[in-house]
């Protein structure tokens, strides 16, 4: 054939260059994340010099008590919860989009967030605890239980015969409307005080961050991410289409079920802690896809880093926009994120989503 004349090593070389460029992009994302977290920790109603903040982080024993409490017990958990929640939601969205072959799939669009909001509202409006044993954690436990129930419903239905990915997406959308209607009904009957609590919760907020929440979300991320990583080749192959992937020997059905279960866990826990932060699950994966492509070896860490960096940057903005006030982060994510996202997808002009 005529093209045999080309030097065979050429494309392997191009490939190595591409890998190197992607590692640089990942390092860049990680750098942005670190920078954003540093700014996040140094921002707040009490003004401290950045150098003091770092001294307190590195040597807490030497700092004065007030500063130590502000940095270590308030700002650090908030800043780190933004990282773990952002990474979890983005990873969940990335894998939902992968296994459902749908660029709109995310914890938000498939009804998990709506279910969580409804669960939280049950606690705040009616005082109903789905697990009475954990009364003091009523709101997050309810939210988690409802989100997980919604996820398991989708999961269960997807195992039925003849259920396609399109059906799953439609089911998810039906769930969004159902839970939103149920939530509206609760709000209609709620007392004024409960109503404002519900509204605040659904806006999403990191202000109730604790080290415990950081640890729980981090552990779940640390369990799920390696499980996805082990299936990197198969997950990437699924994006070539179900039949192609099956022809390559990928157990498509089993992989989809496993992934759906992990995704449910990844999405339900953060949402139960911080409320509705919808946008990250869509925008994080899309940013990673545009920067790195869909080879899961890069896409997977990229989606986590992008989600974490975006939520962390949003956390910074939510404090910086109105001095002295912390705006609800779910609102800021959408307001600031959407224009940025629009520019990104419109200027790239790729045919892949």
Binding interface with another protein (CB under 8 A)? 1-4, 6, 8-12, 14-15, 18, 232-234, 236-237, 239-241, 243-244, 246-250, 289-290, 293-295, 297, 350-353
Taking the least distance from each CB to another protein, the nearer of 212 and 241 is: 241
Asked if residue 232 lies in contact with residue 300, where contact means CB atoms within 8 angstroms, the answer is: yes
Taking the least distance from each CB to another protein, the nearer of 40 and 294 is: 294
Residue 180 CB, shortest distance to another protein, in Å, is 30
Residues 6+ apart with CB under 8 A from 108: 114, 276, 278, 279, 281, 282
Residues 6+ apart with CB under 8 A from 107: 89, 92, 93, 96, 113, 147, 263, 267, 268, 271, 278, 281
Residues 6+ apart with CB under 8 A from 183: 114, 117, 118, 121, 198, 202
Taking the least distance from each CB to another protein, the nearer of 15 and 211 is: 15
Provide the 8-state DSSP code for 73: I
Taking the least distance from each CB to another protein, the nearer of 101 and 173 is: 101
Residue 88 CB, shortest distance to another protein, in Å, is 22
Residue 236 CB, shortest distance to another protein, in Å, is 6
Residue 247 CB, shortest distance to another protein, in Å, is 5
The two tokens of residue 182 are: 């149920």
Q: What sign does the CA torsion over 281, 284, 214, 261 have? A: positive
Taking the least distance from each CB to another protein, the nearer of 47 and 350 is: 350
State how far Cα 216 lies from the chain centre: 15
Residue 89 CB, shortest distance to another protein, in Å, is 21
């Amino acid at each position: 054939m005529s093209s045999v004349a080309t030097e065979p090593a050429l494309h392997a070389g191009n490939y190595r260059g591409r890998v190197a460029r992607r590692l640089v992009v990942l390092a860049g994302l990680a750098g942005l994340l670190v920078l954003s977290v540093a700014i996040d920790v140094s921002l707040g109603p009490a003004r401290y010099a950045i150098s003091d903040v770092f001294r307190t982080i590195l040597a807490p024993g030497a700092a004065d008590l007030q500063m130590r409490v502000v940095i270590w017990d308030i700002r650090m958990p908030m800043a780190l919860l933004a990282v773990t929640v952002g990474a979890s939601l983005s990873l969940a969205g990335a894998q939902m989009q992968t296994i459902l072959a749908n660029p709109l799939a995310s914890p938000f669009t498939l009804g998990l967030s709506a279910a969580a909001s409804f669960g939280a509202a049950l606690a705040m409006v009616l005082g109903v605890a789905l697990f009475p044993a954990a009364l003091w954690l009523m709101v997050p436990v309810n939210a988690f239980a409802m989100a997980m129930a919604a996820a398991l419903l989708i999961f269960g239905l997807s195992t039925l015969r003849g259920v396609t990915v399109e059906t799953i997406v439609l089911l998810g959308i039906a769930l969004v409307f159902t839970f939103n209607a149920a939530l509206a009904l609760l709000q209609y009957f709620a007392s004024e005080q409960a109503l404002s609590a519900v509204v605040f919760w659904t806006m999403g907020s990191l202000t109730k961050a604790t080290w415990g929440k950081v640890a729980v979300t981090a552990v779940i991320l640390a369990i799920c991410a390696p499980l996805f990583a082990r299936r990197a080749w198969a997950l990437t192959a699924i994006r070539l289409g179900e039949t192609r992937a099956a022809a390559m020997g990928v157990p498509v059905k089993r992989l989809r079920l496993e992934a759906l279960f992990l995704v449910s866990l990844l999405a339900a826990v953060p949402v139960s802690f911080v409320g509705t932060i919808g946008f990250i699950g869509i925008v994080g994966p899309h940013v990673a896809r545009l920067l790195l492509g869909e080879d899961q070896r890069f896409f997977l860490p990229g989606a986590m880093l992008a989600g974490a960096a975006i939520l962390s940057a949003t956390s910074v903005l939510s404090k910086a926009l109105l001095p002295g006030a912390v705006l609800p982060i779910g609102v800021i994510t959408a307001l600031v994120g959407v224009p940025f996202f629009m520019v990104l997808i419109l200027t790239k002009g790729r045919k892949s989503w």
